[in-house]
Structure formats: C-alpha cells, structure tokens
Amino acid sequence: MREPEDDMPAAELDARARADAALRRIRDGADPAQEAFTLANTLNDESVGRVARRLRQVFRRS
C-alpha cells in the first residue's frame, strides 16, 4: 500500500516521516543497509546545514 509520503520530495518531510517511509520501503523489499545509509546522510546533511547557517548568522553579527 502506497502512502502519500512516498510520492513527496524528501525535503518536504520531517525526520519521523522520512524514517517511516524508509521502514515501509524496507518492508516492501528495499535494501535495509541502503535505506539506513540514505536516511542517515539526509539527516546529517540537514544538521550540518542548520549548524552552518547558525554560525554564519553569529559571525555576521560580530
């Protein structure tokens, strides 16, 4: 069964929805290692982006 989140771009989903979508894909036969790797990279990229954005804001004020 397809969920609406399966057709949405990953950028529009929150972390929980991305994890749920990855679990559904694994249940449907996707490679668990690849799904975990992709999910971890996506969440890491977002975290690094938030930290970098915050640092730029802090140093602009200095």
Residue where the block lists tokens 């975290």: 47
**pLDDT of amino acid 26:** 95
Give the integer Cα–Cα distance in Å for 62 and 50: 19
- Rg for the chain, CA atoms, rounded: 15
Question: Structure pTM?
Answer: 0.67
Which token pair is 62? 């200095």
Using one digit for the tens of pLDDT, what is the confidence trace for 1-55? 667 666 666 667 788 888 888 999 999 999 999 999 999 998 898 899 999 999 9
The one-character DSSP state at 28 is T
Helix (H, G, I), strand (E, B) or coil at 31: coil
